[in-house]
Amino acid sequence: MHIGELAEATGLSLRTIRHYDEVGLLPATTRTEGGFRLYTQSDLERLLVIRSMKPLGFTLEEMAELLRIVDNLATSGEHPDERDKLDAFIAEAKRKRDKLALNLARAEEFIAELGLRRAAG
């Protein structure tokens, strides 16, 4: 698929996808003779993983490391060190998710409080 189709499927901008290509997170699988990027279903799935890491606040370096670990485990089987690193990423993702959930709950309380003040005023 072309980059525009990938952007539409993920809700990410062309600029973001190009940036991920430039930093090595999502290199285009191939290019047309005209130099246009072409992506596969596997690339789409990888981009969806990257998109899921974004709101958790993972850095580009952390994203690259996690993707490398997942790729290694998928292609070469069990590696205790890689499995431990993946477990650490899972724990960190859960910690970050819990912090986001707390912030979301606080935002909901704030909005509800504003609504009450508006109704009372």
Q: Which residues pair with 38 in a beta bridge?
A: 2, 30
Amino acid 78: pLDDT: 74
Rounded Cα distance, 7 and 47, in Å: 10
Measured CA to CA in angstroms, residue 102 lies from 28, 56, 93, 99, 120 at distances of: 37, 13, 14, 5, 27
Amino acid 35: pLDDT: 84
Amino acid 77: pLDDT: 72
Q: What's CA 55's distance to the chain center, in Å?
A: 7
Token output for 75: 């292609």
Instruction: Give me the domains of the chain, ranges plus CATH numbers.
Output: 1-56 (1.10.1660.10), 57-121 (no CATH)
Amino acid 111: pLDDT: 96
Mean pLDDT by 10 residues, the chain (121 residues): 95 96 90 89 94 95 94 84 94 97 97 93 72
Amino acid 82: pLDDT: 92
